[in-house]
Amino acid sequence: MQEQEPAAERETGIWKKIWHFFYVSVLSVIISGIVRALAIYIFVTPNDFAPGGVNGIAVLLQEGTGWNSGIFLIMLNVPLFFVAFFLIGKYGAVISTLSMLLTSGLLIVFDYIPGMEYICYQPEDNHILAAIAGGVLLGVALAVTLKSCGTSGGTTVLASLVNKKFRNLSVSGMTAVFDAIVVFASFFVYNQGMGFTEKLEPVLLALISLFVTSKVCDVILQGFKAAYRFEIITNHPEEISAEIMQKLHHGVTEVNATGMYSHEGRAMLVCIIRKRQIGEVQRILRKFPDTFASFSPASEVYGKFLK
């Protein structure tokens, strides 16, 4: 007969779940919503480029109609919510949609706050810094959303819908296609009546912003935990392990290996190191010419390595 969990432990578990929900869900909605709204209001809209995705569609519609992009974000995300609810999952749909709705509300409210127009970054000629800064903030917002619920909503939902019908088309590939359509649509929206160079500038700014957004998101999700995994096949496991542990202060694991050509037993050393320590490992290995080694990036490293 299974023992029942004590009431005190059960109550503690409930509070932990409540705290986890607040910390991961509510806080992520607030942070991502605010950061995304500031990126669009301060850097994107004043500099006439669309960052891709649903945000980019809303910005393009604002340019074409004069209505606030927050209104279009609400109009676009409400129907997408119901699609995401069944395709992606209840939790992901709710969190990503709430984040977008907070962004929408803030964009509308900003227009009614006196002096907000003075914080908009709008240089006269060089808009590249605006695209970079906007991309950084949008990357932060995207990373926070992905970290909390595993989906960014928006065009990812549309891509999932296409994937449901056409299984051979990947979600990531279709998301990139939708983003590209939004970016290149800006060629026909901005700088009408001007030359080819002027009309191409919003497209290039959008591409810069998308690139920065992707890189910043990757750094936040993986970069802080990124490391490199070395696999070393050698006849000198003790000597190499001792130097790595002494100089780099990382543990080494030995695995017995057999060469299929010679059928001779050798040792394979496995160790995880930081990026800046690659050169030091290579210097150690040069002392043993008969040693074979390879290394590859390893993300999401846990345990004592982080300390």
Distance between CA atoms of residues 137 and 27, nearest Å: 16
In a domain, 1, yes or no: no
Give the model confidence (pLDDT) of 30-48 as tens digits.
898 999 999 999 999 999 8
Quick one: 103 and 195 in the same domain? Answer: yes
Give the model confidence (pLDDT) of 48-75 as tens digits.
898 888 889 999 999 989 899 999 999 9
Question: What per-residue confidence (pLDDT) applies to 261?
Answer: 82
Res. 226 pLDDT band, cuts 50 70 90: low
Quick one: 74 and 200 in the same domain? Answer: yes
Q: What is the mean pLDDT of the chain?
A: 83
Quick one: 108 and 151 in the same domain? Answer: yes
Lowest mean pLDDT among 24-28, 138-142, 289-293: 24-28
Question: Is residue 11 over pLDDT 60?
Answer: no
170 or 80, which is more confident: 80
90 or 151, which is more confident: 90
In a domain, 15, yes or no: yes
The domain that holds 299 is classified in CATH as 3.30.70.120
**Average pLDDT for 155-166:** 74
Question: What per-residue confidence (pLDDT) applies to 93?
Answer: 79
Res. 2 pLDDT band, cuts 50 70 90: very low
| Domain encompassing residue 34 | 7-221
Question: What per-residue confidence (pLDDT) applies to 1?
Answer: 45
User: What b-and-e string marks burial along 265-291, b requiring 16 or more CB atoms within 10 Å of the CB?
Assistant: ebbbbebbbeeebeeebeebbeebeeb
Distance between CA atoms of residues 60 and 69, nearest Å: 8
Backbone phi and psi for residue 268, each to the nearest 5 degrees, phi listed first: -115, 120
Res. 150 pLDDT band, cuts 50 70 90: low
pTM, entire model: 0.74
Quick one: 150 and 239 in the same domain? Answer: no
**Average pLDDT for 177-181:** 86
Quick one: 238 and 217 in the same domain? Answer: no
Question: What per-residue confidence (pLDDT) applies to 276?
Answer: 78
